[in-house]
Each structure stands twice: as C-alpha cells, then as structure tokens.
Structure 1
Amino acid sequence: MVQTKPHPVFAPWEDAKATPLIRAQNIRKTFGTFTAIEDLTLDIYEREFFALLGPSGCGKTTLMRVIAGFEAPTAGQILFGGKDITPLSPNRRPFNMMFQNYALFPHLSVWENIAFGLKREKMPKDQVAARVKEMLRLTHLEKFASRKPHQISGGQRQRVALARSLAKAPKLLLLDEPLGALDKKLRQETQFELMDIQERTGTTFIIVTHDQEEAMTVASRVAVMDEGRLVQVATPAGIYETPETVYVADFIGDVNIFEGNADPSSDDKVDIHYAEGSVPIHARMGERVSQGQRVFYAVRPEKIMVAAAPDPERANHARGRVIDIAYVGNISTYHVQLESGQMVSAQMTNARRLSRRDFTWEDDVWLSWTDTAGIVLTR
C-alpha cells in the first residue's frame, strides 16, 4: 500500500515559541483630532499571506503605511524580527510596496520597468538580466518583455508591478488594493496567481482590501478592522464559521441575525426566544450565557434548507412565505418572511434545471437547520 505524507499545516501563530516577522505593537496614529488607529497590536509571521480587511476609513491603509514607514506612528513600535525599526525610513526597511495604480513608467518597457529598482541599486548588468528573466518567468510575462505598459492588459500590468516589487527580493511585500482595477473574472483569476507566486517565492505578503471574497480567498489569516481597531484576527474559515461579534458576522458574507433572550440548559444548549408566539431557536453555546441574557444568533443562508415540510432530523424549523428569489446560476437565494415578520435568507444549490425548481414567489415553505448551524454571540 502506498504511504502518503500528510499535508503540512501552516500555522506559526499557534506556536508560542515562534517569533513574528512583523509586530505592530500598541500602535496609535492620529491626524490632528482624528484617531485613525487606536492602541493596535498585531503579529504577522514569515511566509504568511495576511489580509487587512475592513470598510473605507477603518484604518487598514494607514496601518499598512505605518508598517511600510510612510507614516510615523503617534505612539507604539514596529518590530521586524524582534528589532525596533520604527525610526527607519521606507528605503531602509527590507520591504516593498505595490500601489493600487501600479505606478509603472509608461515610457519604459516591461523589462525595463522590472529592472528599474535593480539598476538604481547598481546591481551588475548580468545579475540584473538574470533577475528580470526570473521575474518574467515567475509572472508568465516572457513574451511581453519588450512591450510598453499601454500595450498590455490590466491584468498583465498588475503582474508587471508585482514582478517589479518582487525583483529586489523583499522580506515583506505590502499590496494596497492591488486588484481593485480589474474586472471580476480577471480579479478572481489573478487572486490564484498571487497565491501561487507568494507560495513559490516564500515572501510574506500583506494585502489591504475591502473585498471580503478576495481576503477570504488569498489569505492565511484575516484581520477585520473597524474604526481603527482590530475586531478579530483568524483564518478565513475561523472568521466565517466562528465570528466573535455581530459586526464580523455581518461584514463577512451573507448572514441572518436573530436577536432574543437566552434560556440556557446545563448541557451547553440554549434556547433563544426571538419573537412572541414563535418556537425558540435551539442552539449550542460557544460561550456561557445567563438566563434571560440578550444575545444574537447568526446563521448563514447556505446552512438553511428550504422545503415543503419541516425536516424532522433538524432541530430548528420556521414557517414562512417566499417573498423574493435571486437566481445567480449555481445557487438561488430565497428571501422568506417568517410568520413573526422577520426576513430570512436561505440558499439552495441549483442541482436541477430552473424549469423544475420546486418553489416560486408567494409559496409557503418551511425552513430547517441544525442546532450547530449557527453561532450564539453576546456582542
């Protein structure tokens, strides 16, 4: 029998002895009376593809600029391999930054754009040529080497900017909304190219994005930010499946939020009374809650089944009427109004052709989900 090696698990943040490559320690950044970052501490490890995620104005780009050295923190330190680099200017840090607009030189060819930083460092010509050739091969741009930026597509320009950023072999690459200018299909393709390049080079990447899907696709860990603070730092699966707050649950993907009073039992189960006359939601407790405590229950649409009758094998059932249906090819999202008046989203895979769909507008349906499908939140 052939023995297969287990796939190595990459999780240095779980190793208490591991030293982070970058530590932003007690960072505070103010602009006049406005506080952009408030007492933030964050560890990022070598070879991570780390995402800073949040809405506009949450402080993610400011934090990236503080790490890069373009902004001096009002308080706190930036440590690199345990050494304080806060006083160092950007050009003295072993980092590189790839900007949203790519900042390519329009009069230079792809080859010359990639070589620009190497030439400025007075690298020998033969080494420059070898390094540029390696970067062209890494980013699949060999046949475009002699073209100018206006002669190639947006996705190719993005790869030129990436190749130029990686040419100097930085210990850390900072990417500020690098895929924002690309259309959706190209952006999705480029996400996987970025992941492949990051894995092959072993460079630590930090990406700033407001695109939840992008962060969840590329990152080893995601830091969700709000108003200059870290709300939660976890793997994409941890962020999605076990959010710690209503804000995170609501910000990442689609979710249904029920608010009600807790009625816990002794075996880590809790009933949530969310509407008068409605059967309570049966759930498992992630953290202890007290009798009558106001709690929130978050359950993702894909965890809820739509059927003509309640599923006896699922702990939770609610009756409602189909108000709207969003058909997006592989799935359909049903907006169902419960008898309590609350609107709930449920997603079903379109395994059957549209003409054979079971439910349509104004149909009465039953929603069913398990007691482990959702998560109980206290804030």
Structure 2
Amino acid sequence: MTQAVFAPWDDPSQKPIIRFNRVTKRFGEFTAIDDLTLDIFEQEFFALLGPSGCGKTTMMRMLAGFETPTDGTIELAGQDIAPVPPNKRAVNMMFQSYALFPHLSVYENIAFGLRRGDMPKHDTDDRVAEMLKLTRLEKFARRKPHQISGGQRQRVALARSLAKAPKLLLLDEPLGALDAKLRQATQFELMDIQEKTGTTFVIVTHDQEEAMTVASRVAVMDEGRVIQVATPERIYEAPNSVYVADFIGDVNIIEGTAKASGEGRFDVVWDADREPFTAASELPLSDGQTCHLAIRPEKVTISAERPADAVNAVEGKVLDIAYLGNLSTYHVELPGGQIIKAQTANTRRVSRRGFTWEDPVWISWTATAAVLLEQ
C-alpha cells in the first residue's frame, strides 16, 4: 500500500492553522514585513528562510505575541490572535540560546511550565517522563544544564517547549550553536520528534541546507516579502526567480534574450557570436525579452569532445577545480569570459581525474536541465 503524501496545501478543503492576511509591520519609517499573505497547515514543519534582516524573526515574534502587526491580521486556528497575550496563546517558542534555568535539573527545567499551569503532580511527573523519553534524556534527568553537552541542552529546551502540548512551536535558529556534525544529526532528531508529536513547527533559519532538510515547505524571504513558498524539491528544481535560484544551493546564471522556437521551447541568445542555448519553458516570454537561464552545476556535463547528441554545448577552458571529497567542481571559462560550474562525482581517485587546469573542454546540458526565469 502506498503511503499518502502529506500535502494539505494542495487540498482546497484543508483549513490552515496559521493565516497571515495582508500583514504589514513597521518600526518607525522601516517596513520589516510588507503586505504578507501566507498559510501554514497543521502538522507542517515550515521553514522561514532568508538573509539577516529579511523579516523572518519579526514574523515569528508576531506569532509568539511579542510584536503586533501594524496592518492586517494573523489567525491561529481561525482566531485573530492580536488581542491574545503571549502566555495565553497555544504557541511556544524555543530560543536560540535555549534559555534553560542553570540552577534547576533537566527534570525541573522540563516541569517548570507545567507546574506554573497548576498541573497535578502525578500528571506533571507522567508528562515529564514522556518528554524525557521522546528526547532520549532519561539518563540525564537529575543533571544540571552545565553537566550535559550542547546537543543535550538543545533537546532539554525542545522537551520543555513541547511539554505543554502547544498547537504551534516556534524555533528561532535552534541549531545555530551546534557544530556541523551534531547539527546534521539533530536535524533528523527534530524531524522525528515533530512527526511523533504532530505539532506544527515553524523554524527560522538562514541556513539553506537546514531548511531543505527539515521542512515540508520553505518560504524564501527577502526585504519583508515572501518571494516563493514551495516544497524543498520545487524550490531547488523550479525556482521562480534568480533570487531564489541563487539563494538555494549552487547555480549558474546566464543572462540572455528569449526567442520562441516552438511549443514550450525558447532559444536564449547569450552571445552574438555563438549559437543560442535551448530551454523548455511554459513562461509567456515575448521575443527579445531579457531572461535568465539557471542551471545547477550537477546538471552540467563536462567532456573532452563535443557530445554528438548535445542540445546545448559550448567550448571553454578549465580555470579552476574545487575538490570537495565526494565531488569535484570545475570552473570553466567560456569565450566571452562567463564562468560556468560543472560538478562531477569522484567515483575514481583524484590521480585518475580526466581534466586539469587550462585544459580545453566542452560543457553541455539538456533542454530541460536549465530553468528559464523572467526575473
């Protein structure tokens, strides 16, 4: 039996748990969020991704109740949350610093919010035990925060945030303090915990890899606006703009002018002296319109001869080689000075590498490998 794909955003009958409706937030003259409309669904792991100052933390602070919108409304489960104070919202926030109480044990840290909510002692004990098990911290219950590792402290903060079973958990750069390897392991733990609890998670991050790993959908932001909202796969394979293509992963961008060459196909004139590139696209581009081709380096083939069946092929020379262990990235300079990156998997030892610096090479790609962009 095939498992149903989780995609409530594609189902018109599904109601979102969070709805930003034309939300604007100004601080004096500065507009942090600009007329933003966005839906987030129950049980989503939703990522707000963008550079510093793009407005993602402001969005999170408005959800938590630390800021109020200047215009527009934010609804949680159908209710306008503007008049609801932070401590009365079914929302919890996990801060980057974890904000644990240093003098309390792991157990007491997790129990803290439950006791303040007047939960009976036996229920509190049961709930804390459940949270310790969920975050695999049973052995550390009696220790103080300074007696455990950074990754364990991160899990204590998560257990404490989830103890009161919020409808929504906000995570502000939650893995920023962890080293690369631990961060990777913790990303999968977060996904696992989110799936087990069914809580809606909204994570703020500037780390593309993190957003692409954990999220069901990603909102790429810039200057207070959401540029594209889609699944990680669609953001990577079908970006809607040069900004998104460039922000996520590595990409080659070639500027040119479009000329229709058949149903859903365009020639892209990029150099007056060279043959145009061919791209498949459903965009309604007019002849002579400026456009951009976005091609991921792993979709570019590098070879010594021109491939006989290549739709798009151009000769250049190897300018640079970046060796990344499992991959090598070749920087190939085209006759007009444009540099294109081509990536190959290192299935053989480096000494057997096919090309070296200054070698003449051909690079090629298929008509569907490149994404044609208007903006």
Find the aligned partners of 2:153 and 2:199 in 1 and give their Cα distance.
20
Amino acid at match of 1:334: Y
Amino acid at match of 2:36: L
Match of 1:176 in 2: 172
Match of 1:107 in 2: 103
Deviation for aligned residue 1:313: 3.0
Find the aligned partners of 2:160 and 2:305 in 1 and give their Cα distance.
59
Deviation for aligned residue 1:266: 2.8
Match of 2:230 in 1: 234
Match of 1:86 in 2: 82
Match of 1:199 in 2: 195
Asked if 1:225 corresponds to 2:221, the answer is yes
Find the aligned partners of 1:185 and 1:230 in 2 and give their Cα distance.
30
2:356 is paired with a residue whose SS is coil
Unaligned runs of 5+ in 2: none
Tell me the alpha carbon deviations over residues 313-342 of structure 1, each in whole angstroms, 9 at most, x when there is no partner.
331111111111111111111111011210
Tell me the alpha carbon deviations over residues 187-217 of structure 1, each in whole angstroms, 9 at most, x when there is no partner.
1110000000000100000000000000000
1:302 is paired with a residue whose SS is helix
Match of 1:332 in 2: 328
Amino acid at match of 1:307: S
Q: Bigger shift: 202-211 or 271-280?
A: 271-280
Find the aligned partners of 1:268 and 1:220 in 2 and give their Cα distance.
30
Q: Identity of counterpart residues, as a percentage?
A: 66
Match of 1:285 in 2: 281
Amino acid at match of 2:191: M
The equivalent position to 2:139 in structure 1, one of 124, 133, 143, is: 143
1:351 is paired with a residue whose SS is coil
Match of 1:37 in 2: 33
Find the aligned partners of 2:343 and 2:335 in 1 and give their Cα distance.
19
Asked if 1:46 corresponds to 2:17, the answer is no
Asked if 1:260 corresponds to 2:256, the answer is yes
Find the aligned partners of 2:263 and 2:31 in 1 and give their Cα distance.
44
Asked if 1:344 corresponds to 2:340, the answer is yes
The equivalent position to 1:317 in structure 2, one of 307, 313, 319, is: 313
Match of 1:120 in 2: 116
Amino acid at match of 1:35: T
Q: Is the 8 A contact 1:255 1:299 kept in 2?
A: yes
Tell me the alpha carbon deviations over residues 10-53 of structure 1, each in whole angstroms, 9 at most, x when there is no partner.
00001111110010111110001100001101100000000000
Amino acid at match of 1:121: G
Match of 2:239 in 1: 243
Moved over 3 A (4+): none
Deviation for aligned residue 1:282: 0.7
Find the aligned partners of 2:55 and 2:366 in 1 and give their Cα distance.
38
1:62 is paired with a residue whose SS is helix
Asked if 1:8 corresponds to 2:4, the answer is yes
Match of 1:154 in 2: 150
Amino acid at match of 1:164: R
Find the aligned partners of 1:171 and 1:313 in 2 and give their Cα distance.
55
Find the aligned partners of 2:92 and 2:276 in 1 and give their Cα distance.
53
Unaligned runs of 5+ in 1: none
Equivalent residues, number:
375
Q: Is the 8 A contact 1:24 1:67 kept in 2?
A: no
RMSD: 0.8
Amino acid at match of 2:103: H
1:25 is paired with a residue whose SS is strand
Find the aligned partners of 1:15 and 1:25 in 2 and give their Cα distance.
19
Q: Is the 8 A contact 1:314 1:371 kept in 2?
A: no
What is the TM-score normalised by the length of structure 1? 0.98
1:271-310 to structure 2, matched below 5 A, reads 271-310=267-306
Asked if 1:22 corresponds to 2:4, the answer is no
2:73 is paired with a residue whose SS is strand
Amino acid at match of 2:240: E
1:341 is paired with a residue whose SS is coil
